[in-house]
Structures are given as structure tokens and as C-alpha cells.
A and B are shown apart, each in its own frame.
Chain A
Amino acid sequence: MSGLPQLVLFGINWVSFGIDFITFYALYLAISLSLNLEFGYTGVPNFGKVLFIAGGAAFGGSIAGRLAAYVLNVGKGEDFITFNARIITQVNNELVNDPTLSVELIVIALVVAAAVGGLLGFLASYPALRLREDYLGMLLLGCAQFFQVVLRTYTPLIGGSQPIFVPDPYSYFSTLGTGYRDLVAMVVMVVAAIAIYLFVERVVRSPMGRTMRAVRDNEDASAALGKDNAKIRRNALIVASALAAMMGALYSFYVGSVEYDTWTRFAWTFWPFLIVIIGGVGNNSGVALGAFFFTLLFKGVQQIQPYLPASNVFDVNSIADVLFAFMLLTILFLRPEGIIREKSSYTLKRGVLGKIVKTGTTDGEKRSFASRITSRFNRHRDGGGTAGDTQPEPAK
């Protein structure tokens, strides 16, 4: 049985470091993108981000474990939480030979997590639509804080202070050699991140994306143009929360357990905000860059630990915390719009636009688009309503 090739330079195994780095990068990229969707583009500052991620991880991980135990007929008649370690070990032994079930587990956990995240997002949208940012921030932060207490105390879900293990759907690959399991987990995470990137980018470039920016920038104007601000905010919050919850479930598969003390508001609310602020609010490529800088700093600082004096006065994680605070303040002072500025909305290509302006028509497929624009323009100019519009009532 052979492991992955090793490349050791300067006392660091670069292959395993690279896998760790990329997994972490993909995870935080995806979460930050979902935050960008709700905060950057729609203007809902979700200061309770950790709640949605933890919800997805807890429900996804817990249900995947129970389901696997049920399907494989392991630990029948035993309490899942109490005998968790033994049940999951048996499940993992079975999963080594059952890649189909592994894939099914991942898919089901993702669906469950998305449903839970969407539901939590829907609940959070009730205050989000009604409160000013400061009240909303306090409320969501408080709810997230309390949710951590619930995770710690309510044992049936993820075992409370005794963390539960999650079945390892990648265990099939651990037979190939050491490191392959992490490699596959990394690939899954990267695929998820890329999918979320493409999805968010697609949404943002669509008419919906422009509407979201309008809702963020000027509520009155978007309302005057017939946009339902509340509905758009709510949907953004639901979708972003579902995405974040799915990443939470993937993370729980990656680390193989769900623990209550993972879900601090620093690691899962502040860091995504930091990434979005560094990279550029309302800019996905900026977020990708910001996530890279963040990961570089975080993983880089962790490599310093062996070189620190043995008395261990300084824990690198606390140094990283202070560094992050300075990083955020520096960005807010020097470049509040982020490294990459938000671009204006994407429009048609220059030539196409020019043709429309000149002739009012263009060739082929674009004709229908141009004629749609002109006809809509004419309709507005003439003051006539569309079929659904109500005529103004005559004054009494």
C-alpha cells in the first residue's frame, strides 16, 4: 500500500500541505461567496452566518450517520448518540466496500443541509426584512450564539459536549494509500466551490443580479420600478443560507465529526466577512482573491508554530486572530472597497449596443432582445400599462 508522493522542503511536506491548503481555500471561498450573495449583492448583513453553516453540518452529519447505520443494519436497538463511536466505526468498515452508498450519503446530507439552511434562512428573513442593520446584526449574532449553546446542550442532535462522528464517505479511497482520502475530499470540496462560484456569478450576471444590486443601493427606486424588495431579500437570504449549510455538511464529512465548539462566530462569521471585505464587496473574483490571501495568512502563520520557543507563550492561533483584526482595519482604512472594486453591471457588447442605439434593431437572435427593449420603452413612453397593471382610479 503506497501513499501519495511526498515532497519535503524546509521541513514541510508540501503535498499534504497543499491538499490542506486547497481544501481550506475551497471551503472558505464557497462560504464567502454565499455571504457575498446576501451581503455583497443584496445588502443583508448576515452577522449570524455561523448559525446556518452549523445547522447544515449538524443536521447533515447527524442524519447521514443515522441513515447509514439504518441502511447497513448496524447498531440496531442501540442509542445512536451513546454508541456513536462504535456504530460509525462499523459503518465506515462497510462503506470501504460500498462507494454507491457513500455517494448517496453525501447527496442526501447535502439535500438535508440545504433544506435546513433554507428553512433557517427563511426564519431569519422575518427580522431581516423589518429591522435596521444594527438591530438585525445584534439579533442574528445573538441567535447564532444561542444556537451554539443548543448544539452543546441538546444531546440527541450531535451529542452535545460529547461530539459525534460522521460516517466517512471517502473511506473507499483510504484503501489506495495514505493521503488519497484527503485528496478526494479536497476534489469534492473544490468541485462544490467551483459550482457555487459559477452559480453565484450566473445569478449576479442575470437580470436578477441587477435587481439585487438595485435593492441594495436604492430601495425606493427599485420599489418604484415594481420590484418586491422584501421578496428579493428573502430569496437571497434563503439561497445563500442553503449554500452555506451545504458547505457545512461537506466540512463535517471532511473532518469526520461534528462538534459544538467548532462553530464559533469568529471562524464562521467573521472570517467570511473578512474575506469579502478584503477581496471586494459585491465582486466574486475579488472574493476568490481575498479567500486566497486569507488562507495564505492563516495557513502560513500555522507553519510558524514549531519555530516558536518551547515554553509556548504564544499560540499561533491567537496571533492569527490579532493579525486578522489588523488586516481588516487596514483594509477598511486604506481601501474600503476591497482589493478589486465592484464592477458595474455587465451589459451587451459594445458593437451590439451601438447597433441597437443606431438602428433600433440588430441581427439574428439579438433582434428579439432589441425589439423587446424598444417595445418596452415605447410602452412606458406611451404611458400604457401591461396586461397586469391596474389603471389609476379616477379621483372622487
Chain B
Amino acid sequence: MVPAYLLSALVYACLFSMMAMGLTLTYMTTKVPNFAFGDFVTLGLYSSYTAVRVFKLNAYEGSALGFMVGALVSAVMYLAVLRPLARRGSSLVSLMIATFGVDIGFVGIFEIYTNYLQYDLGHIDAPSFYALPDFSLGGYAGVDFVAPVSVAVIVLCVYLLFTRTKFGVAMRAAVENPPLARVLGINVDMVATVSWMLAGGFAGYAGGLLTVFLPGGTATGSNLIVEIFSSSVLGGLTSIFGACVGGLIIGGSEILGTLGLGLGFGTAGAIIIGVIFLLGGIALIRRPKLRVKAAGVIFAAFGLWILADMAAGFPVDFISYELVNGFGPDVTPFQQAIPLLIMVITLMVIPQGIFSINIRRLLGREK
């Protein structure tokens, strides 16, 4: 039997992986961070909710519906808002503000829709609902299987699309160099529209799956953008597989990190954390930039502190004791700090994303 916390970390990681792949797809084609992206997740959430409560289907059929609704709305948003604005020569900031506006419009529409569900159809839990029913298989919840399989299928499909089909190669070309791709006869606009459709579809599908896993509401998706942005930034914002890995890391570390900080990592876990900080810090000290060196010194000192204080039996008791035995349940609400912190560190140390790390150079084997 796999422990429940590992399963929930896995599901969370897989969902963020899908969302981050979507956001990265839109960023790659349009070069605008889409602040309304969280609302595509909420679209999927309410597709699932509507499917279960109104049409008496199950949440997975609802997730498929979420894929379609998300893809449709995302394509409409691109065709009706972002493409015309970009053609008018709007600046990056104007486009960002436009997506922000779409975000608030979506929240309004969700509220109107949930009011409709609530007052006209009598589903009183519409504005914020508990997790929807899920099937179970061999003692595990259905989503424990569906989420990882979905991610695997999506990654495989995207891989095959990008490497084995003409359209996928054209997509890559259009992302890499739009004018040149246009010269070669690639329909760049069509490629961008399809990217947005896929992006909205991934988000909607992930949102649909989220309903059987966590409670939801009109602001759920919109509040998840911290994690989605962090995942994409960690993945480098230009690599869809980077986004996949970034989402897995963010989702996993958020759940496991919060749990560990709450209940304690145990002696072995604390030693591992200390060693990670120490080695990471030493690796950073070897980098040429002074700023990075300074961060490395702090990291290494922190790691050394944890190890030393543990070895001496916690004479000073600053963080080290809590790492072993837990900070208590008070840390749980702060779980968004973990993705935010990872985003900050990523932007400071590896702005190009996780795939830009050169392991050999980090180890000092290569100048």
C-alpha cells in the first residue's frame, strides 16, 4: 500500500504538470504570460461540476467536457482578444493587462453561472463545493491512476506531435522563428490558434480532474496561478517538457514540503535537507557571479547549521529541531510559499529554467 500523502503529492504534481504545459504553450506562441490561465482551470472545474450535478455523469466525463470547453474558450480568447491586439502593435504590458481584464471578466461570468446553478437549479453548493465522487480501484481513488496516466499520454502525444508529424514540426518552426516559418509557407496563425486550443484543453482537463481531488469554487483556478506560473518559470517558459518537469517538481514539493514542515522530516530527512543545502551552496559558491556566490554562502551555512545543531543535540534550537519534529499544523495554510520561493530562486539562479542547468559545469568538471 502506497502511503496516501505520496499519492496526493503525485496527483497534485500531475495536475500542475498539465496546467504548466498549457501555460507554456501559450507563452511560447504569444510571448505573453496569460493571467487568465487560471480561469481555464476553473472552466474545467465547473464543467465537471455541471456534468456530475446537472447531467448525472461522472467527473471524468466532465473532465473530457472540460477539455473541450477549455480549448474552445481559449481559442476564442486568442482569436478575439490577443491576436487582434497584438496586430495593432500593443505593447507587452498592454497585452498583459488585457489578459488581466479577461481574468476579471471570467470571474464575473463564473459568479453569474454559479448564481444560476444555485438559485435556478437548486445546487446550493455551486459557489464552493466539496470534492466530487470518484470511483475506486483496488483500494485507491480513481484519480490516483487517471492523473499520472493522463500526463504520460499527453507527454507522449506532444512528443509524437512535435517529432513525427509535419504539423508538429511546423509548430516548432513557428515558435522558433515566426517570420521565417511564414516564408516557408507555414500558417503561423493557425499554429498559434491550435497551441492555444491545446493549452486551454490541458487546463480544462486538469481542472476537471481537480474536482475529485480537492474542494473547488469560483476562485480556485484563479488562486492557483502562483503554482502554475512557478511551474512554467521553473521549466523555463520555452520548453513544454520543461514545464512538465517543473509542474511535477512544484506540485510534489508543495505537498511533501508542507507535510514535512508540519509533521517533521525525521532525522534522516533533516540530514538529507542539510546535505542538499550544503552541496547546493557549495555548487553556487563555485559560480563566478558575486551575487550567486553570496546566495551560495547563505545556503551552505544554513545546511551546515542544520547538520551541526543536529549533531550536537539541538543546543540552540533554531529551525533544526523543527525540521526533525515538525512546525505543527500552522504551516499548512502557507503552502503557497513553497512554489513562490522556488520561483524566486529560479529567477535569481537559473532564469532559463531547469533544463538550462549544466550538471557538468555545476560539478566543476567543465569551465
Contacts and interface: CB of A to CB of B under 8 A. Distances in A.
A274 B103 CA distance: 13
A299 interface: no
Contacts of B32: 134
Contacts of B339: 142
A208 interface: no
Contact of B336 (A141, A149, A328): A149
Given A133-B96, A146-B226, A328-B101, A313 B333 contact: no
B115 A270 contact: no
A42 B16 CA distance: 35
B225 A142 contact: yes
A134 B105 contact: no
Contact of A274 (B93, B101, B225): B101
A179 to B, nearest CB: 32
B343 A133 contact: no
A324 B106 CA distance: 11
B100 A47 contact: yes
Interface in A265-293: 266, 269-270, 273-274, 277
B332 to A, nearest CB: 9
Contacts of B108: 317-322, 324-325
Contact of B104 (A153, A325, A336): A325
A142 B102 contact: no
Given A274-B101, A321-B105, A314 B88 contact: no
Given A325-B102, A332-B85, A153 B333 contact: yes
B45 to A, nearest CB: 17
B98 interface: yes
A270 B225 contact: no
Interface string A197-234: 00000000000000000000000000000000000000
A311 interface: yes
Given A313-B116, A314-B112, A332 B334 contact: no
Contacts of A270: 100-101, 103-104
Interface residues of B, number: 49
B107 A266 contact: yes
B97 A273 contact: yes
24 contacts: A45-B93, A127-B347, A135-B33, A138-B229, A139-B344, A141-B229, A143-B340, A146-B337, A313-B115, A314-B115, A315-B112, A315-B115, A317-B111, A318-B115, A321-B111, A322-B105, A322-B112, A324-B101, A325-B108, A328-B97, A328-B101, A329-B81, A332-B85, A336-B94
Interface of A: 39, 45, 47, 127, 131, 133-135, 137-139, 141-143, 145-146, 149-150, 152-153, 266, 269-270, 273-274, 277, 311-315, 317-322, 324-326, 328-329, 332-333, 336
A319 B32 CA distance: 27
B327 to A, nearest CB: 13
Interface of B: 27, 31-33, 35, 81, 84-85, 88, 90, 92-94, 96-98, 100-109, 111-112, 115-116, 119-120, 223, 225-226, 229-230, 233, 330, 333-334, 336-337, 339-340, 343-344, 347, 351
A149 B332 CA distance: 11
B334 A149 contact: yes
A81 to B, nearest CB: 15
Nearest to A328: B101
Contacts of B90: 332, 336
Given A139-B344, A312-B119, A319-B108, A145 B223 contact: yes
A381 to B, nearest CB: 36
Contact of B92 (A134, A149, A311, A324): A134
B258 to A, nearest CB: 12
A381 B196 CA distance: 55
A328 B325 CA distance: 51
Nearest to B27: A134
Nearest to A266: B104
A315 B333 contact: no
Nearest to A138: B229
Contacts of B330: 153
A127 B346 CA distance: 12
B133 to A, nearest CB: 27
A39 B336 CA distance: 27
A146 B100 contact: no
Contact of A326 (B93, B105, B119, B340): B105
